[in-house]
C-alpha cells in the first residue's frame, strides 16, 4: 500500500510515476475524498471537545452548587451532542473506508532502476546463460511428448474441466522429485526454513499481500457447506494463488525483532488461479493451468538490505536451473510489466526447444514496504528506535510444472524418451529416463 503521507505531500509527482505503470491516479478524486474527510473529522473532533468541556463543567457544578435546572439543561446538551457525535463518527468511518479503498487500488511505485516502458518489448535482457542446444531431430513440444509418457489431459477434463492435468507413472514421480529437489536445495544450500501452510486463506490475508481487490477475478472462492451455507455474514475464503500469501501473513500485525532479520522461508504448495485473461498457446498443455504446483521462496528483511537480497534470491533460483542443466535468460521487467505489489522484478525464462521460445519459469520481486504496510509488519532496531516497515521479497523457486515442461523438451531423444538430469536420480528410485508407457496398468 502506498504511504498516504506521500500522496498528501506530492500526489502529482506520484501520479506521473504511476503513468509509467499504465495506471491513472485520479488526483481530483483523491482531493475530493480528502476534503470531505477533513471536514467531517474536524466537525467530529469539535463535537468531542465540546462534549468533554460540558461534561467537565457539569461535574464541577455538581460539587459546588445546587442548580438542578442548569445541570439538567447541560445534560440534555451532552445527550444531543452525543447523538450528533454518533452520526458524525459513522460518516467519518464511511469516508475513511472510501479513502482506504481508493489507496488499496493503487499499485506500488517502481524502483528507480526499473526500466520505463509499458510493453513486453520494453523489458530488458539482463543476461543469457549459454546458447540453446541444437538437436539433430525435430523437437516435439511437451504435450506431444508427454501424452506417450503419462501426461493425461483428457481424463482431467472429465474429472474437472479444461486446464487441469493428470500425470501417471514415472512422469508423476519426476514431478514429485522436482519438488523435493527444489525444497532440499533451498533449505540445505540457501538457508531457507521450510513451512507447511494452509491452502485456503481469508480475505484479510489476500488484502495483505495485494491480491485483493485488484485480482479478485483470478481467485477461486471456497463455498462452505452444511450449517454455514446460508450465513449472510460468513467471511469468504479463497484457494491460494501462491504460498507467498500464507507465508507473509504469518507476520501480519507483528513487530519483528531486528535480530530475527532476515527471515527466509520456503514452502511447496498447489496454487489455484482462474487465469481469466490467458488464451491461445498459453493454455496448451501444462504451461498455464488453473491448478499448478510451485516451490516459493520469501524473505522479510531490513530495508537497507532488500536490493542486495533481491540479487541473492535471483542466484538461488539460478542455482536450481544450473543444477538441472537448463538454458535460461534473465529479464528485468519494465514499469508496465511488473506485478501490482512489486517495485522491481526479474523474470527467469527457460529455453523450450519444442516451442522454439523462451518461457517464464520464475519471477523474483522486491515489494519494498508495499505489502508490509498492508500487513502492518514492522521491526524495531532497539527499544529507543521507532517502528519501521520491513521489506518483503518473493520468488518462484521454481514453478514445478513449467520445470517439468523444460525437462521434457530439453532432454528429449529422437525415440520419444526423455533423459532425467543426474541430480534427480536419487529421488527417482533407479529410474534415469522416461520411456513410452506400454504397461497396461497405466493405460486408464
* 86/255 Cα distance (integer angstroms): 33
Q: Is 29 annotated as a binding residue?
A: no
**Contact assessment for residue 366 and residue 306, using Cβ atoms and an 8 Å cutoff:** yes
Q: Is 281 annotated as a binding residue?
A: no
Q: Is 161 annotated as a binding residue?
A: no
Q: Is 274 annotated as a binding residue?
A: yes
Helices (H), 65-108: 68-104
Q: Is 278 annotated as a binding residue?
A: no
Q: Is 242 annotated as a binding residue?
A: yes
Nearest Cα to Cα of residue 258 among 308, 298, 303, 297: 303
* 436/443 Cα distance (integer angstroms): 11
Q: DSSP letter at 412?
A: B
Q: Is 244 annotated as a binding residue?
A: yes
Q: Is 318 annotated as a binding residue?
A: no
Cβ-count burial of 117 within 10 angstroms (0-12 exposed, 13-18 middle, 19+ buried)? middle
Q: Is 362 annotated as a binding residue?
A: yes
Strand order in the sheet with 291-301: 124-129, 328-332, 344-352, 357-366, 391-399, 291-301, 263-272, 193-194
For the beta carbon of residue 283, count every other beta carbon within 10 angstroms.
13
Contacts of 174 (CB under 8 A, 6+ apart): 404, 407, 420, 424, 428, 434
* 108/409 Cα distance (integer angstroms): 37
Q: Is 363 annotated as a binding residue?
A: yes
Q: Is 275 annotated as a binding residue?
A: yes
Could you tell me which residues are annotated as the binding site for L-serine? 242-244, 273, 296, 394, 396
Could you tell me which residues are annotated as the binding site for ATP? 273-275, 360-363
Could you tell me which residues are annotated as the binding site? 242-244, 273-275, 296, 360-363, 394, 396
Amino acid at each position: 500500500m502506498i504511504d498516504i503521507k506521500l500522496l498528501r505531500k506530492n500526489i502529482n509527482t506520484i501520479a506521473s510515476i504511476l503513468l509509467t505503470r499504465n495506471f491513472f491516479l485520479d488526483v481530483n478524486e483523491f482531493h475530493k475524498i480528502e476534503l470531505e474527510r477533513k471536514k467531517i473529522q474536524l466537525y467530529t473532533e469539535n463535537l468531542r471537545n465540546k462534549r468533554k468541556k460540558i461534561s467537565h463543567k457539569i461535574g464541577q457544578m455538581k460539587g459546588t452548587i445546587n442548580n438542578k435546572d442548569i445541570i439538567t439543561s447541560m445534560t440534555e446538551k451532552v445527550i444531543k451532542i452525543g447523538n450528533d457525535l454518533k452520526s458524525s463518527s459513522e460518516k467519518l468511518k464511511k469516508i475513511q473506508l472510501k479513502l482506504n479503498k481508493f489507496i488499496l487500488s493503487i499499485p506500488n511505485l517502481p524502483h528507480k532502476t526499473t526500466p520505463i516502458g509499458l510493453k513486453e518489448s520494453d523489458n530488458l535482457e539482463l543476461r543469457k546463460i549459454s546458447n540453446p542446444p541444437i538437436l539433430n531431430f525435430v523437437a516435439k513440444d511437451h504435450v506431444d511428448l508427454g501424452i506417450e509418457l503419462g501426461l493425461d489431459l483428457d481424463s482431467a477434463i472429465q474429472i474437472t474441466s479444461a486446464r487441469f492435468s493428470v500425470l501417471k507413472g514415472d512422469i508423476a514421480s519426476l514431478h514429485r522429485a522436482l519438488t523435493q529437489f527444489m525444497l532440499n536445495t533451498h533449505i540445505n544450500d540457501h538457508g531457507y526454513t521450510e513451512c507447511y501452510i494452509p491452502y485456503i486463506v481469508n480475505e484479510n490475508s489476500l488484502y495483505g499481500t495485494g491480491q485483493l481487490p485488484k485480482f479478485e477475478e483470478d481467485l477461486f472462492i471456497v463455498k462452505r457447506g452444511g450449517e454455514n451455507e446460508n450465513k449472510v455474514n460468513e467471511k469468504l475464503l479463497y484457494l491460494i494463488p501462491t504460498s507467498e500469501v500464507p507465508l507473509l501473513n504469518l507476520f501480519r500485525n507483528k513487530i519483528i525483532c531486528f535480530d530475527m532479520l532476515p527471515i527466509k522461508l520456503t514452502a511447496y504448495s498447489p496454487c489455484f488461479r482462474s487465469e481469466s485473461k490467458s488464451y491461445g498457446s498459453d493454455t496448451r498443455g501444462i504451461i498455464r493451468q488453473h491448478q499448478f504446483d510451485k516451490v516459493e521462496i520469501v524473505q522479510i528483511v531490513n530495508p537497507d538490505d532488500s536490493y542486495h537480497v533481491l540479487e541473492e534470491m535471483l542466484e538461488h533460483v539460478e542455482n536450481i536451473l544450473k543444477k538441472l542443466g537448463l538454458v535460461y535468460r534473465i529479464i528485468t521487467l519494465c514499469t508496465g510489466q511488473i506485478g501490482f505489489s512489486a517495485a522491481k522484478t526479474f523474470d527467469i525464462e527457460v529455453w523450450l526447444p519444442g516451442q522454439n521460445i523462451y518461457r517464464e519459469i520464475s519471477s523474483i520481486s522486491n515489494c519494498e514496504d508495499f505489502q508490509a504496510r498492508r500487513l502492518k509488519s514492522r521491526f524495531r532496531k532497539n527499544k529507543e528506535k521507532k517502528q519501521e516497515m520491513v521489506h518483503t521479497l518473493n520468488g518462484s523457486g521454481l514453478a514445478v510444472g513449467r520445470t517439468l515442461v523444460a525437462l521434457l523438451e530439453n532432454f528429449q531423444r529422437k525415440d520419444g524418451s526423455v533423459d532425467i538430469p543426474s541430480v534427480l536420480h536419487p529421488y527417482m528410485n533407479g529410474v534415469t529416463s522416461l520411456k513410452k508407457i506400454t504397461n497396461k496398468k497405466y493405460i486408464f
